[in-house]
Structure 1
């Protein structure tokens, strides 16, 4: 075979082909190595992005969030948008505005050794989320137990009549004060909003008798209110009448005193005249007195002598005319003729 004839079995060409194939394979491997590294970077970036996005959280207006960092209390977040460190922070949201309630129900012994069925409802809110979550294992149950204890203590120091009737408000106030003092010692993170003491009941065996007793006490209170209303109506009238009588008496007293003072003053004016001319003064006073007496009389009977014989009736003309005029005026008012 000549050297210039094509020969596929040329060892030099075969070596060159192998070298070219190796270079291409190397380039391909390098390309894929670089692409894999870039893919890992993109993948890690995407994962990190989702981790960051998923650890944002929102605290609502009525909530507060307690944040634990490595299992230890860190801080409290107020309402708004916040972010927590993944795998480091633990967030617990607590509603601090909702009003919750618990009840204490049971048969309890009173001070006078009677049994009553009582029920009390306590309304409360969470005032400190940290203490509420981590100071007590179960603060709601603890509050119920504290309510039951406070109520039993107050009922045990109160008579049955007071528990069933007009002492209920005092029982409620005493229980509320005692309950607040109990929970303040344990830092439950709870604040009492209201305490409602529902009407107590006697045991079924004696319920009818106690209903009669309660009805009698209610009647007593009603009669007292009616009597008080009657008193409030009568007393002011009596006081007004008494005041009017006193004022009339005072006016009469002033009139009588003034008249007496006037008589005294008139007598003091007449006294000098009497001392100067006693007979003339006596006669003038007599005539004035008789004129006053006769002027107020419709008719006068005059005795002719001292022994009362031949009496004479005297009819004053002016009085007679006045009587006629009054009679005619009456007839005119009644529609008659003169």
Structure 2
């Protein structure tokens, strides 16, 4: 059975339950657009690529699904840079499919040719450049897994000549298996006088406010939030004290300063929270829980951390914690 490369791209997106693609057409991706209109995926046409990636960012945050963006080569991709940086910093899941000049013209300063990899290295979780028809399904499957796990943008670069030909379909690459990591039991026996829980923006990615609310009520530990954590919990919870940081409540900043035990959930502890790193929480033992290893010890060194999905943590590990 033969299938067009563009059709293979769309079929791969359909297998990931993608309902929307946000984008703006261009010469390097016209074959993909032909297949979009034959499929059941809805295309949201924008008037500028920057709008497409910001819409995808908002879609990802609100629906907890991956936002897919389709743009052409050259300026089509560079117009996405600000949105990629936003997604990377705020950990929203986005997949960008961008066109590229045909393979034989790469590195010849061709029309609308850019080195997309080096442009975006510091603001994406991963970047892939398609070099073979048979890698299409594998790369898209892998990109979805990375974007879901690392919570950030992933880019796939498609040379135009690899989207307009038919090829014999091999057996589909199996989706990458979810390898269960052997996390140590979250069993902390502690006797502290001033414990506090710090909630960051990562809690909104887990999209389960009720679990967090129950955790707080059962543990009876007061909690505070970062600016990015606002909206990720029940404000009416009696244990909520306010939000901290440069523009937060001064009383909350004092509370965390004098705490002796802090459980950080889904926060990267950026400079807006810590200010002077050496003076931040001088009396506390810190436990850091996050799915993204890049968030661990980013500004404040943390010897005790758990790389774990927050929903799994709240569902499973907390049982040991509350014993």
Q: TM-score, normalised by structure 1?
A: 0.15
Q: Which has the larger radius of gyration?
A: 1
Q: 1 or 2 for the larger relative contact order (CA 8 Å, sep ≥6)? A: 2
